[in-house]
């Protein structure tokens, strides 16, 4: 019979600077374990806040255990439909992969860094608010900065199509 192989606990401290994150866990009222390795799935990492709950596993005795999973019911997104997936933070940021092949991203500022380019393959892009650019935008194969119109008309009349393409 294996007794004490698994234990629930509460995160006290997290050290995410190490190659394998280390947690201090309070397992019982008088049992605090320092430097417990937190095993995380490849490609995913998080730094749990104090008060998050974890499940620790032990082999043999309780001298060395690993934290298998950490959850935080205080911030977990509730009400997802079957098959949906979400990544979230305590500040309300989230990436929600929803039914119907819809992905919602909510945050204060979204930064995208790409070494070479950002490509969109879609029939429609919709934006609200002000759009600012420090570089050129190419729409329909035509530069938005360096294009020449074939004719320019005053007032509310449409000018001709840009040279090099367009209708």
Predicted pLDDT of residue 60: 81
Domain that holds residue 48: 6-71
Q: Find the range with the poorest average confidence among 64-78, 115-129, 135-149.
A: 135-149
Q: What is the distance between the alpha carbons of residues 7 and 2, in angstroms, rounded to a whole number? A: 12
Q: Is the pLDDT of residue 91 over 90?
A: yes
The answer to whether residue 44 is domain-embedded is yes
Phi, psi angles (nearest 5°) of residue 98? -100, 170
The answer to whether residue 77 is domain-embedded is no
CATH number at residue 57: 2.40.50
Phi, psi angles (nearest 5°) of residue 35? 55, 40
Residue appearing with tokens 């119109």: 149
Q: What is the distance between the alpha carbons of residues 15 and 35, in angstroms, rounded to a whole number? A: 9
Q: Is the pLDDT of residue 160 over 90?
A: no
- Distances from the Cα of 20 to the Cα of 26, 34, 56, 116, 148, angstroms: 19, 14, 15, 32, 56
The answer to whether residue 41 is domain-embedded is yes
The answer to whether residue 20 is domain-embedded is yes
The answer to whether residue 142 is domain-embedded is no
- CA of residue 113 relative to chain centroid, distance: 14
Q: Percent of the chain beyond pLDDT 70? A: 89
Query: pLDDT tens-digit profile of 54-85?
Result: 999 998 888 889 999 999 999 999 999 999 99
Listed in sequence order, the residues at least 6 apart from 24 whose beta carbon sits closer than 8 Å to its beta carbon are 11, 12, 13, 14, 32, 33, 34, 35, 36
For the chain, what is the domain count?
Answer: 1
Computed over every residue of the chain, the mean pLDDT equals 88
Q: What is the distance between the alpha carbons of residues 29 and 40, in angstroms, rounded to a whole number? A: 26
The answer to whether residue 156 is domain-embedded is no
Q: What is the distance between the alpha carbons of residues 97 and 104, in angstroms, rounded to a whole number? A: 7
131 versus 46: the higher-pLDDT residue is 46
Q: What is the distance between the alpha carbons of residues 153 and 26, in angstroms, rounded to a whole number? A: 75
Q: What is the distance between the alpha carbons of residues 47 and 50, in angstroms, rounded to a whole number? A: 10
150 versus 110: the higher-pLDDT residue is 110
Q: What is the distance between the alpha carbons of residues 102 and 96, in angstroms, rounded to a whole number? A: 8
Predicted pLDDT of residue 144: 78
The answer to whether residue 129 is domain-embedded is no
Q: What is the distance between the alpha carbons of residues 56 and 149, in angstroms, rounded to a whole number? A: 67
143 versus 154: the higher-pLDDT residue is 143
């Amino acid at each position: 019979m294996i007794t004490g192989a698994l234990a629930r606990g509460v995160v006290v401290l997290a050290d995410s600077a190490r190659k394998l994150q280390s947690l201090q866990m309070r397992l019982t009222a008088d049992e605090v374990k320092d430097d417990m390795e937190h095993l995380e799935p490849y490609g995913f990492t998080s730094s749990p806040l104090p008060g998050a709950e974890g499940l620790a596993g032990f082999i043999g005795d309780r001298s060395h255990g690993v934290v298998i999973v950490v959850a935080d019911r205080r911030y977990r997104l509730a009400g997802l439909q079957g098959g949906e997936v979400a990544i979230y933070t305590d500040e309300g940021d989230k990436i929600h992969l929803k039914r119907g092949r819809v992905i919602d991203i909510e945050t204060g500022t979204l930064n995208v860094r790409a070494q070479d380019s950002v490509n969109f393959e879609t029939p429609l892009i919709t934006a609200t608010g002000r759009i600012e650019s420090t570089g050129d935008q190419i729409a329909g194969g035509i530069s938005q900065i360096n294009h020449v119109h074939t004719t320019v008309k005053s007032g509310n009349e449409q000018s001709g199509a840009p040279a090099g393409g367009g209708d």
